[in-house]
């Protein structure tokens, strides 16, 4: 994963960036057929030293952890895209169907043809967002799409998917922001004064954080918006444990590969010597915390050279590293999160099977007085 030193910000494109991220983003960037990339913006991903400190810190916690954003190197992003097509992994198709069904309602609640700026955090494979953009276009709007992702690979896929999915429709300008939004977030300035913005945080990724970090993240989004701007949050909902369990323990073993691959990503950054094949994938749904926990569990006693992290990590047989939590919410807990982050909840939409929810909120003027 590319990590550079430039300070974060959307003006970074005017600077001369160096390093892998730049090469990776621009070296293979070709204009898509139907999507005109009007501006390519490069925001710095956190400095190498910060990443090393973060990895050191999380691996020395009890239990040991790795931040789940490290899943998304090129291979990890590709594996996650594969997960979204697995029969067991219900969230993506459930959310997509819900978005497709409710797109007109969502776009109309965001000013209809006045919706000019669609900003997606973790745009990944933006295939779910197509219905919102199509709807805005068909209402006579001219939306721009701002894709924010930590992965250059994912941003490339975003561009391809938009080109394919919006073929034959008016071009949608795409503004790409390569950034780690778990740390800082700076959105490009709005296109025109009074333009209506809609920020999206879909896929249930909000479930990767405990409440405090989730509220901090959503509050950072709120700070980048103006009062009245809209925010759409996708949340996995509490449902049958067997369905949740299957989604993270697929028969083809893709989720297990995705989990193990985080160690390759860490090795690339830290020059460490984790052996992915020395760990078992373990992903139980923990009812008490309404969350999936993904673990990598050492199959035998291990001594791992930590490379640039410094020293050796000793792990007992059966000891685990927690690589992800993926929370399940209720309508009440999802709306509480929005509200606590400076958004007034306006709409709640649920899939027919009640496994996935979308909450639409509007950025509030001031802080809430309790």
Question: In the complex with ligand AVJ, which residue's Cβ is closer, 165 or 203?
Answer: 203
Per CB under 6 A, does 285 bind ligand AVJ? no
Question: 3-state secondary structure string, 136-189?
Answer: HHHCCCCCEEEEEECCHHHHHHHHHHHHHHCCCCCCCCEEEEECCCCCCCCCCC
Residue span binding ligand AVJ (CB under 6 A) among the ranges 175-183, 201-209, 238-246, 270-278: 201-209
User: Using the rule CB under 6 A, is 203 a contact of ligand AVJ?
Assistant: yes
Query: Which three-class secondary structure state does DSSP give residue 222?
Result: helix
Nearest partner of 148 among 224, 212, 207, 80, judged by Cα: 224
Min separation Cβ 215 and ligand AVJ, Å: 17
- What is the nearest approach in angstroms of ligand AVJ to the Cβ of residue 366? 31
Query: Measured from the CB of residue 100, what is the shortest distance to ligand AVJ in angstroms?
Result: 19
What residues numbered 236-265 form the site for ligand AVJ, per CB under 6 A? 248, 255
Residues 36-75 that bind ligand AVJ (CB under 6 A): none
Among the listed residues 41, 116, 158, 208, the single contact to ligand AVJ using CB under 6 A: 208
Under a CB-based contact definition with an 8 Å cutoff, are residues 58 and 65 in contact?
A: yes
Q: How far is the CB of 290 from ligand AVJ (least distance, A)?
A: 13
Q: Do the Cβ atoms of 292 and 244 come closer than 8 Å?
A: yes
Nearer to ligand AVJ, 135 or 326 (CB): 326
Single out the residue of 157, 164, 129 nearest to residue 145, CA to CA: 129
Tokens 């009074």 locate to 194
- By CB neighbour count within 10 A (0-12 exposed, 13-18 middle, 19+ buried), where does 340 fall? middle
Q: How far is the CB of 326 from ligand AVJ (least distance, A)?
A: 3
Tell me: does residue 204 bind ligand AVJ (CB under 6 A): yes
In this complex, which beta carbon is closest to ligand AVJ, that of residue 82 or of residue 364?
82
Query: Environment class of residue 368 by beta-carbon count within 10 Å: exposed (0-12), middle (13-18) or buried (19+)?
Result: exposed
Query: Before 118, cis peptide (omega within 30)?
Result: no
Say if CB 2 and CB 19 are below 8 A apart.
yes
Q: Which of residues 309-338 bind ligand AVJ (CB under 6 A)?
A: 324, 326
- Selected range binding ligand AVJ among 59-67, 152-160, 185-193, 197-205, rule: CB under 6 A: 197-205
Out of 25, 83, 214, 225, point to the residue binding ligand AVJ (CB under 6 A): 83
Burial classification of residue 192, based on how many CB atoms lie within 10 Å of its CB (0-12 exposed, 13-18 middle, 19 or more buried)? exposed
Nearer to ligand AVJ, 47 or 246 (CB): 246
Q: Which is nearer to ligand AVJ, 188 or 203 (CB)?
A: 203
CB of 208 to ligand AVJ, least distance (A): 5
Which of the stretches 11-19, 23-31, 183-191, 203-211 binds ligand AVJ when contact is defined by CB under 6 A? 203-211
> How far apart, in whole angstroms, are the C-alpha atoms of residue 114 and residue 205?
28
Find the residue with minimal CB distance to ligand AVJ: 326
Task: Pick from 151, 205, 261, 272 the residue near ligand AVJ by CB under 6 A.
Answer: 205
Separation CA 157–CA 160 (nearest Å):
5
Interacting residue ranges for ligand AVJ, rule: CB under 6 A: 83, 91, 203-205, 207-208, 248, 255, 324, 326
């Amino acid at each position: 994963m590319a990590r550079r030193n430039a300070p974060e910000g959307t003006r970074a494109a005017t600077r001369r960036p160096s390093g892998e991220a730049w090469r990776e983003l621009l070296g293979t960037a070709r204009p898509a057929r139907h999507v005109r990339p009007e501006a390519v913006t490069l925001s710095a991903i956190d400095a190498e030293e910060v990443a090393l400190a973060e990895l050191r810190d999380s691996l020395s916690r009890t239990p040991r952890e790795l931040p789940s954003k490290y899943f998304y190197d090129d291979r990890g992003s590709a594996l996650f895209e594969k997960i979204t097509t697995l029969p067991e992994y219900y969230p993506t198709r459930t959310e997509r169907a819900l978005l497709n069904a409710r797109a007109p309602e969502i776009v109309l609640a965001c000013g209809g043809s006045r919706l000019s700026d669609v900003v997606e955090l973790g745009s990944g494979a933006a295939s779910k967002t197509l219905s919102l953009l199509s709807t805005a276009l068909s209402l006579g709007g001219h939306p721009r799409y701002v894709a924010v992702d930590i992965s250059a690979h994912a941003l490339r896929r975003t561009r391809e998917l938009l080109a394919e999915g919006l073929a034959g429709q008016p071009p949608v300008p795409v503004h790409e922001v390569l950034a780690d939004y778990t740390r800082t977030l700076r959105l490009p300035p709005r296109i025109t004064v009074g333009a209506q913005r809609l920020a999206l945080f879909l896929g249930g990724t909000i479930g990767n954080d405990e409440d405090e970090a989730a509220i901090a993240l959503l509050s950072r989004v709120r700070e980048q918006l103006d009062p009245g701007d809209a925010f759409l949050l996708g949340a996995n909902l509490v449902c049958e444990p067997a369905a949740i369990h299957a989604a993270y323990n697929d028969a083809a073993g893709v989720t297990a590969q995705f989990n193990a691959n985080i160690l390759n990503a860490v090795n690339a950054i830290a020059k460490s010597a984790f052996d992915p094949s020395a760990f078992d994938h373990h992903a139980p749904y923990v009812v008490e915390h309404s969350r999936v926990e993904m673990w990598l569990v050492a199959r035998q006693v291990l001594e791992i050279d930590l490379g640039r992290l410094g020293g050796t990590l000793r792990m007992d047989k059966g000891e685990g590293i927690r690589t992800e939590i993926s929370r399940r919410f209720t309508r009440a807990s999802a709306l509480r999160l929005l509200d606590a982050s400076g958004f007034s909840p306006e709409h709640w939409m649920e899939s027919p099977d009640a496994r996935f929810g979308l909450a639409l909120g509007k950025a509030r003027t001031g802080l809430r007085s309790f």
